[in-house]
Amino acid sequence: MKKLLVASGNAKKLVELRRIFAEVPGLEVVGPADVGGIPEVEEDGDTFEHNARKKAREIAQATGVMTLADDSGLEVDALGGAPGVYSARYSGDEGASHPGGQVGANNDKLLRALADVSAEERTARFRCVLAVADPRGPLGDDEHVSAGSVEGIIAVAPRGDGGFGYDPLFLPEGRQEAMAELTAPEKDAISHRARAASALLPFLHGYCGKDA
């Protein structure tokens, strides 16, 4: 079995990627706990791709394991594309005292920011960039980077208890349900992360010695 380390402390994200990559024979998708932990990498870039590449490269070199890093977030048109690369830390220190933690604080801040924005102007998209780095050298080949996005609108209140992050507030284009109300197969069919992950499948089949 060949290992692919998903460099994320988000257990739900790891489950989602394991589910998508299950079709690759000979691939074992592992998380930080399986390799004794991973170093913290400062996300100091102004694009999702910069942050994903940096995390993949540094963690692959630190662990000696082929590493996949994800940087993703929500872009709201009425907010000029915010929270964007700051999606996970949008509410700053508010999460420390919020009953819903950082995620709850982020969602509440977003709803406050859009309080006076009409339904037709609440357009947004989830965007994801995945980067895979080989520990034997720097990341320098675009075939190891993929991106995916999904358009939608922001709801006026949270809906559903599935998913994670901003999923309870995001209504994908063409759906009546929030992302958090979708089943796993429904989400995998349309999500930004699933689209980015699917684009990596040919590379991963090759990595494991199989044709796509």
Catalytic residues: 71
- DSSP H or E segment with residue 153: strand 145-154
Can you name the residues that pair with 151 across neighbouring β-strands? 125
Q: For the CA atoms of 151, 196, 110, 56, what is the dihedral angle to 10 degrees?
A: -160
DSSP conformation class of 41: -
Contacts of 98 (CB under 8 A, 6+ apart): 91, 104, 105, 108
- Give the separation between CA 35 and CA 39, rounded to whole angstroms: 11
Which has the closest alpha carbon to 109: 85, 75, 81, 83? Answer: 83
